[in-house]
Structure 1
Amino acid sequence: MIKTILFDVDGVMLSEERYFDASALTVWEMLYSPQYLGLKADSFTPAPVESDIRRVREEVFAKDEALNLIKARGINSNWDMVFLAFSYQLIRLAEALEPQLGSEVTSLLSGQIGREELAKLREWGASHAADFTVDYASFTPDFAKGTAQKAEMLLYLNQVAKERCRVDTEMFSRNSDLWQLCQETFQEWYLGDERVAASIGRETMQTGKKGFLTDEIPIVPPAEMIDLFRTLKEKGYTLGIGTGRPTIETHVPLTEMNVLEWFDPNRVVTASHVLEAEEEYPDFAPMSKPHPFSYVKGLLGLSAPNSEVFSFSLPIANGEEVLIVGDSPADFLAARSIGCKFAATLTGLSGQEARAKFEEVKADYILDDVRDILSILE
């Protein structure tokens, strides 16, 4: 009998669309802004109108083909998505420069890449590869050649660099300076100028970003979510959250919608808690989904030390008492690691098309949207 229900946020309560928009805009900025690679094929602005946002999103993720591949391989973090998409184009630029610059380019790919290294690539690109063209569509077939899953997808970039630039490198990983730069730049876009300092400890590098946090899109009307969570709480269920969103991006919109108050505050686990755990235990990184950390932490509570989370025996003995509700393969894999029940909502990126995938992996329940959860509970 289910006693505890842990919910994902994106694709379950809130639409992922603005997150994907921010991801695409981050890649776009890092390719075309003079503060990053400064490629000349497109013009950059920190305040694009909606039509430009739609164009950039369609181009960067190749009409969502790249997004579908990334999510199908178990990547649930928008920070990872940005890192994958941008790093791939960076490698292609290095490939275009290598015939003329040789070891200068390959040695750059062998070490950490931060703003100084991006400035070198910007200078070299202007001098030696002015006609370089970004090819967003090639990402999917290049990654489809390999079988990398989850965090291994980030490491697969090292293989791409070897094939394209004939360089042995281990730079491309979640522990790299470049990943950190992608993460911070994404936060600038999502939070905007007014809120970003509280998240990353500095102001935006490129001012003029208004952010998307006040422009969230609920999947079902907030009033109906409130009724659902109130009913579940009145029935005695313990409610928690395990999300890939940082804390501010979880608390602000759900509080404004009067939804957050129905969850046990000790069981609202966010990407901020994951990052803290990775800093405390770097040998365990990465811990974002499908790693079960966020959901195990939700089971034990934020008051439980991270050492207890890592030592907690999996699969759990009382798996039939815990239900995870999510929209992605990453959520499903985390639930299976824990040994608990899983309910898939068909309100993520793939919509109803995801039904066949969840049927194939034998998800315990498949729901049209989160409101249907009442139909599966005793």
Structure 2
Amino acid sequence: MIKTILFDVDGVMLSEERYFDASALTVWELLFSPGYVGLQGDTFTPAPEEALIRRVREQVFAHDEVLDFIKSRGINSNWDMVFLAFSYQLIRLIEALKPHVPEAASLLTAPLERQELARLRDWATVYAPDFQVDYAAFLPDFARSSAQKADLLLYLNELARERCGVETDMFSPNCALWQLVQETFQEWYLGDERVAASIGRETMQPGKKGFLTDEIPIVPTKDMVELFRTLTERGYTLGIGTGRPSIETHVPLREMGLLDWFDPERVVTATHVLEAEANFPNYVPLSKPHPFSYVKGLLGLSTPDCDVLQYPLPIANGAEVLVVGDSLADFLAARSIGCRFAATLTGLSGQEARSKFEEVQADYILDDVRGLLDILK
């Protein structure tokens, strides 16, 4: 009998669309802003109108085919998605520069930070002014690999060797470039007013209004309130395991009147994951599909991270826990725990995801989160 229900947020309660918009804008800024690589061919602005956002999103993720591919390989973090898309174009640029600037390839053998990106900008201005970003090329290059989850990020090292002739292990979760990508994404999503509370500094390029106050609920808010009220009245304990940082979880859910229905001890966010990764680097990465966020939600925030990481899996009482998510990463995390899984067809792929979840034999497949009331009678 199910006693605890742990929910993902994006693709279950809130639409992922603005996250994907922010992801695309981050890649675009890193490539075309003079503050970063500063390539020719597009004009950067920190305050794009909606039409420009739509154009950038369409181009950067090749009509969302790149997003679909990355998510199909078990990557659920927007930070990882941006890191993959930007790093790939960075490798292509260095490949183009190498015949003119042989030392360009050496940048791939050490941490890449703002100073190194500035050197690439200067070289590209002189030696590769006509370099063309090819977003769609990502797909055939990565399709050659069978890498899944975090190994997809490590595959960038192999591409660097093939294209630039260097042996490197620079591309990895939480490397210096990944940290830069993560902070730049936070600037876009949170905007000038809120970003300092998340990353400890102001935006590098002011003018970003953020998307946090422009969230889109998957189903009407009143329906979700009724759902969570009913589940609580029936005695279920409700928790969250999300790839969103705490501020991006608490603010919109509180404004929609949803947060109070969840046990505060069981609202686990990317902020908690990053803290655990900092304290236990040998376990990196801990983002989904790693089960850490859901196990932490099951045990409670007051449980030390070391105990969460060492908790024996699969759990003995798996039939008492239900994970509700929209992605393969959520499913894999649930299976690691040994609990039940309910897939919602409200993520990026929509109803097309049904066949995928049927193939992996998800316990339940729901058109949207409201279907929980039908399976928990």
Instruction: Pick which of 12-21 and 104-113 moved more.
Output: 104-113
- Contact kept? 2:36, 2:118, Cα under 8 Å: yes
* CA shift digits 1:326-378 (9 cap, x unpaired): 00000000000000000000000000000000000000000000000111113
Q: Which residue of 1 aligns with 2:285?
A: 286
Q: Which residue of 2 aligns with 1:154?
A: 153
In structure 2, what is the Cα distance between the partners aligned to 1:129 and 1:369? 48
In structure 2, what is the Cα distance between the partners aligned to 1:299 and 1:261? 17
What percent of counterpart residues are identical? Answer: 75
Alignment map for 1:142-181 (pairs within 5 Å): 142-181=141-180
Matched position secondary structure for 2:342: strand
The answer to whether 1:80 aligns with 2:87 is no
The amino acid that maps onto 2:273 is V
In structure 1, what is the Cα distance between the partners aligned to 2:11 and 2:4? 20
Q: Which residue of 2 aligns with 1:258?
A: 257
Alignment map for 1:98-109 (pairs within 5 Å): 98-102=98-102, 104-109=103-108
In structure 1, what is the Cα distance between the partners aligned to 2:107 and 2:49? 36
Q: Which residue of 1 aligns with 2:221?
A: 222
In structure 1, what is the Cα distance between the partners aligned to 2:199 and 2:45? 22
Matched position secondary structure for 1:108: helix
Q: Which residue of 1 aligns with 2:327?
A: 328
Q: Which residue of 2 aligns with 1:376?
A: 375
Gaps of 5+ in 2: none
Matched position secondary structure for 1:99: coil
* CA shift digits 1:180-227 (9 cap, x unpaired): 000000000000000000000000000000000000000001111000
Figure out how many residues of one structure are paired with residues of the other and give that number.
377
- Contact kept? 2:95, 2:105, Cα under 8 Å: no
Matched position secondary structure for 1:173: coil
Q: Which residue of 2 aligns with 1:66?
A: 66
The answer to whether 1:47 aligns with 2:47 is yes
Q: Which residue of 1 aligns with 2:185?
A: 186
The amino acid that maps onto 1:2 is I
Q: Which residue of 1 aligns with 2:234?
A: 235
The amino acid that maps onto 2:276 is A
The amino acid that maps onto 2:233 is E
The answer to whether 1:25 aligns with 2:29 is no
Deviation (angstroms), 1:15: 0.2
In structure 2, what is the Cα distance between the partners aligned to 1:298 and 1:117? 39
Q: Which residue of 2 aligns with 1:113?
A: 112
Q: Which residue of 2 aligns with 1:308?
A: 307
In structure 2, what is the Cα distance between the partners aligned to 1:311 and 1:189? 36
Q: Which residue of 1 aligns with 2:347?
A: 348
Deviation (angstroms), 1:311: 1.1
The amino acid that maps onto 2:26 is T
In structure 2, what is the Cα distance between the partners aligned to 1:108 and 1:78? 25
The amino acid that maps onto 1:260 is L
The amino acid that maps onto 2:76 is N
Gaps of 5+ in 1: none
In structure 2, what is the Cα distance between the partners aligned to 1:311 and 1:204? 38
Structure 1 stretches of at least 4 aligned residues deviating more than 4 Å after TM superposition: none
In structure 2, what is the Cα distance between the partners aligned to 1:39 and 1:100? 17
In structure 2, what is the Cα distance between the partners aligned to 1:312 and 1:158? 33
TM-score, length-normalised on structure 1? 0.99
In structure 2, what is the Cα distance between the partners aligned to 1:283 and 1:363? 31
Deviation (angstroms), 1:105: 1.2
The amino acid that maps onto 1:256 is E
Q: Which residue of 1 aligns with 2:10?
A: 10
Q: Which residue of 2 aligns with 1:124?
A: 123
* CA shift digits 1:250-285 (9 cap, x unpaired): 000000000000000000000000000001101101
The amino acid that maps onto 1:192 is G
The amino acid that maps onto 1:236 is G
Deviation (angstroms), 1:175: 2.6
